[in-house]
Amino acid sequence: MSRVQAPAHAFSSRGFTLIEILVAFLIFAIIGVISSQLLSQTVSAHSNLTERGNRLADAHRAMQIIQRDVMQLVYRPIRDTFDEPQDALLIGSDGAIEFSRLGWRNPLQQHRSEVQRVAYLLQDRELLRGYWTVLDRAPDSEPVYQTLLTDVERMEFYAVDTAGNEYTFWPDPGSSDPTIRLAGIIMRIEMAPFGVVERVWELPDIAAASGLVPGV
């Protein structure tokens, strides 16, 4: 008896087996997981870069404002709310700074000085800029504050004399040397994600010429 052979195309047209389908699903699942992780990492990296960029822009803007004030520092002592004389430049133990500056614009021609008293301090992790609407203060004179930066860990200002010495306090309570002349202001600020940032500003000629001598 002769054996009847099946046509060749009968084997080539058979479907996938269950194992082959499961293997294919497994491969697609692995590809999907990898793609999802790559997409998540890309989105996260973009978000971090955007946040870091915004943070850098805020820090740069704050530094520009501080630089603008320091570069217009002028020798103009004031009287505080207790009618006590205060030096043109004050740096305290808490790292805060207060000084008089020129260039307070007066477009409405109000009856006031164009010299402004400003201060920078750290409060509740916020870098604040304060200013007074008068120089010699009345008992009810209060500063106006604006927030320049948030999430600030630490901030310190230092006065630097022409010999390169740094002063945590100004006027320096331990010296009344009339030969001391200030040359610049240093600001050190610690904030995420940049760590400690330091800026050094040379005092303008109008301030350096006065010397800003302690007790003057």
pLDDT digits (tens, 9 = 90+) for 146-202: 999 999 999 999 999 888 899 998 888 776 676 788 889 999 999 988 899 999 999
- The predicted structure's pLDDT at residue 28: 82
> How does DSSP assign 102-118, residue by residue?
S----TT--SS-S-EEE
How many angstroms separate the Cα of 133 from the Cα of each of 114, 137, 141?
10, 9, 8
C-alpha span between 76 and 212 (Å, rounded): 10
Structural domain contains residue 38:
no
Q: How confident is the model at residue 29 (pLDDT cuts 50, 70, 90)?
A: confident
Structural domain contains residue 8:
no
Structural domain contains residue 61:
no
Q: How confident is the model at residue 5 (pLDDT cuts 50, 70, 90)?
A: low
List the one residue out of 141, 99, 137 whose CA is nearest residue 119: 99
Structural domain contains residue 76:
yes
Q: 93-128 pLDDT, tens per residue?
A: 788 999 999 987 776 666 678 899 999 999 999 999
Q: What is the CA radius of gyration of the chain?
A: 33
- The predicted structure's pLDDT at residue 95: 81
CATH number reported for the structural domain that contains residue 77 in this entry: 3.10.610.10
Query: What is the distance between the terminal CA atoms of the chain, rounded to a whole angstrom?
Result: 129
C-alpha span between 127 and 209 (Å, rounded): 30
- Which of 103 and 206 is assigned the larger pLDDT? 103
Tell me the two tokens of residue 22: 């499961």
Lowest mean pLDDT across 12-21, 35-44, 73-82, 114-123: 12-21
Q: How confident is the model at residue 32 (pLDDT cuts 50, 70, 90)?
A: confident
| Percentage of the chain modeled with pLDDT above 90 | 43
Average pLDDT in the 18-25 region? 80
List the one residue out of 101, 131, 135, 104 whose CA is nearest residue 119: 131
C-alpha span between 202 and 152 (Å, rounded): 24
How many angstroms separate the Cα of 164 from the Cα of each of 97, 160, 184, 205?
19, 6, 9, 17
- The predicted structure's pLDDT at residue 3: 55
- The predicted structure's pLDDT at residue 64: 94
- The predicted structure's pLDDT at residue 109: 67
Domains identified in the chain, total number: 1
C-alpha span between 164 and 199 (Å, rounded): 15
| 116-123 and 97-101 beta bridge pairing | antiparallel
Q: Quote the domain boundaries for residue 128.
A: 68-208
Predicted confidence (pLDDT) at residue 63 exceeds the cutoff of 50: yes
Structural domain contains residue 139:
yes
